[in-house]
Chains A and B, each alone.
With several copies, the nearest count.
Chain A
Amino acid sequence: MLNLVNKSPFERLAMESCLRVAPKGSAIVFLEDGVYAVTKGTAAAAKIQAAAEGSAIYVLGPDLDARGVDRERVMDGVTEIDYGGFVDLVVEHGTPQSWL
């Protein structure tokens, strides 16, 4: 299962639901407003860091660019992908689940 999270962790609780339910070690892709989740120094950072232990965390680069997120503010251990990389992940990891 590949988890897709497109909501800001400061507006909605979609990410919490994903972290509570998704099997340990599931990969997570942050896209759209979800990309704010992987920025350093925010009130949500500790939760993501904890989730990152054992899960592969990806973030969509074009969505970071649109929102002006400087790369040095992206958390360590997060892998940046483009849409092609996003497609590859869906191929590799099987059924995607969009946490809308």
Chain B
Amino acid sequence: MKFGILVNEGPFTHQASDSAYQFAKAAIEKGHEVLRVFFYYDGVNNANKLSEPQSDDRNLVKLWGELGKEHNIDLVVCIAAALRRGIKQDVLADGFRISGLGQLIEVGIAADRTVVFGD
């Protein structure tokens, strides 16, 4: 099956990004395809390459980037939400791209299931 995923919250503050990551990984392991992960609201903060968690904690920005690259997942950060929150090209981590909200609706149409993770 084809999945779309919406991530509503930034890394660390809420578990939403962790749960979405674990879900995406499990879906791929089950042989499904994750077409796109769309980062909206504070979710845009998952793409901040300056994020530097403690050495004994997970690094969600890196984990998303690697998962995206390895499994050809389109990682899209909403431009409107990102501008407000100061996530711009200068700080955009590898593997992410910035685009419009239409990309969320598009994956909703293209995917068999769209799953939302938030607070």
Contacts and interface: CB of A to CB of B under 8 A. Distances in A.
Interface of A: 4, 6, 31-33, 62, 82-84, 86-88, 90-91, 94-96, 98, 100
A84 B114 CA distance: 16
Contacts of A88: 30
Nearest to B113: A90
Nearest to B29: A84
Q: Which range holds the interface residue count of chain B?
A: 20 to 34
Given A100-B8, A100-B118, A83 B26 contact: yes
B19 A87 contact: no
Contacts of B16: 6, 32
Contacts of A94: 113
Contact of B116 (A82, A84, A86, A100): A100
A84 B118 contact: no
A62 B26 CA distance: 13
Contact of A32 (B19, B25, B29, B30): B19
Interface of B: 1, 3, 8, 15-16, 19, 22-23, 25-27, 29-30, 32, 113-119
Contacts of B115: 4, 90, 96, 98
Contacts of A62: 22
B3 to A, nearest CB: 8
B113 to A, nearest CB: 5
A62 B115 CA distance: 19
27 contacts: A4-B115, A6-B15, A31-B19, A32-B15, A32-B19, A62-B22, A82-B26, A83-B23, A84-B29, A86-B23, A87-B23, A87-B26, A87-B27, A87-B30, A88-B30, A90-B3, A91-B32, A91-B113, A95-B113, A95-B114, A96-B113, A96-B114, A96-B115, A98-B115, A98-B116, A98-B117, A98-B118
